[in-house]
Amino acid sequence: MTVTLQTVLNSTPKSIQVQPAVYRNIPWMQNNHLAQALPDHFSAEQIRKWENIFPLKDLLCDTSSTDKTLIIDHAMNQWFLPSPTMLPLADTFSRMITRTCLSPEHASMFVFYGDPGSGKRTSAKMLLSHFPKVIVHDSLPDSGKNYIVQVPVLYAESAQDRSVKGLLQNIQNSLNSSLRLFSRQTPIPNSISLDDALLSNHVNLLVLYLHALPTAPSAIHSILDHLFHFVSIGISVMLIVDRNNRLFLIQSFSEAMTLLSEQQILLPPLTSDSYANMFLEKIWSNLAVDTPPLSESIKKSLLESTCGNRALVIRTMKEIQYRTLILGKTSFTEKELNAALLDVTADLTKFLDPAQSAPPDNSEN
């Protein structure tokens, strides 16, 4: 069967959208119906099934060279192999939601960090895709309502201008996006504060990806103040930041020490361990063109030249396939791979430090 580009696009794991409340009979949850409606914690077996790597050769029958490069690009962007970090991340994610739902004073902060391109955002979004965006309760005792909408977790990213206002607006947009999934629920009117909107829809966790920080100290202080404020009103925060940004905050702002140095998980670069070997072998065996044997020298070259960065490894494997197909060939050599690797990693320092190419900082405006 010929697989089209649309088929590849449709192969993206679909996130759970609206889910009717199913109450677990767990005595220690103290008859808290909102907590009892939350999904069980993820198991290691469930997480292993999130792997999403498929053979590219099977997708490229009877397609033009242009279509082939598009299919390779989209397909490899969707590839996912759970890292050893995924289980503790998923456990922390579920635990924060449950604890906060049971008792708002248990709200806390947590940091998930790593180098740019290490897979932080991808891992978080994969995790979120397996958690319901909206849980609908037909009715609850003493609620006085026909139904209750529960939005356990929201994901938002920092604004392009790195402003606090933009971040808060993105949080509100994320909430409205979730509420639109349920046809009986209308978006939050502007007259209601963000705090009230989050609390009235039973948001327990904010997953915030700050891909760029403001340069003005006052703007950074404002972001930190808002994060601590969310916790103070009973909403936990999982913060996703690059390794350099985390280090900068710890070194520059004393109030960030509590936030960024206690509860944290590092997504490390690939090293010469069993996971890195499996990662490279799965990629190597599923490429669209024939490959030389995956020797130890090739593995070493890929890991060392990219500093073990997943995004750069993937980008290199895309590049060598593009070059091979453009030349009308069906395979590449180790020498050709090294040439592609050299070009991809030419701006390695800039890639690992996005601040050098970040958009203008309007955070004080």
Query: To which H or E segment does residue 225 belong?
Result: helix 217-232
Lowest mean pLDDT among 8-17, 74-83, 256-265: 8-17
Task: Write the single-letter amino acid at 201.
Answer: N
Cα 124 off chain centre by: 3
> Position of tokens 């026909």?
146
User: Quick one: pLDDT band at residue 138, thresholds 50, 70, 90?
Assistant: confident
For the segment 85-133, what is each residue's pLDDT rounded down to a tens digit?
A: 999 999 999 999 999 999 999 999 999 999 999 999 999 999 999 999 9
Lowest mean pLDDT among 33-42, 227-236, 285-294, 342-351: 342-351
> Structural domain boundaries of the chain?
1-268, 270-354
For the segment 305-327, what is each residue's pLDDT rounded down to a tens digit?
A: 999 999 999 999 999 999 999 89
For the segment 158-172, what is each residue's pLDDT rounded down to a tens digit?
A: 999 999 999 999 999
* pLDDT of 346 above 60: yes
pLDDT of 357 reads 44
Q: How many CB atoms lie within 10 A of CB 256?
A: 20
Options 1.10.3470, 1.10.150, 1.10.8, 3.40.50; CATH for 270-354 is 1.10.8
Mean pLDDT of 209-237: 91
User: Quick one: pLDDT band at residue 11, thresholds 50, 70, 90?
Assistant: low
User: Quick one: pLDDT band at residue 39, thresholds 50, 70, 90?
Assistant: very high
Q: For residues 134 and 178, is the Cβ–Cβ distance under 8 A? A: yes
Q: For residues 93 and 238, is the Cβ–Cβ distance under 8 A? A: yes
Domain range 1-268, CATH class: alpha beta
pLDDT of 203 reads 96
Between CA 71 and CA 52 the distance in angstroms is 15
Encoded tokens for 66: 């242009």
C-alpha dist (Å) from residue 365 to 8, 54, 73, 253, 362: 42, 46, 38, 21, 5
Percent of the chain with pLDDT over 90: 59
For the segment 224-243, what is each residue's pLDDT rounded down to a tens digit?
A: 899 999 999 999 999 999 98
Angle at 150 between CA 147 and CA 153, to 5 degrees: 170
Cα 138 off chain centre by: 31
* Of the ranges 73-77, 181-185, 251-255, 257-261, the best mean pLDDT one: 73-77
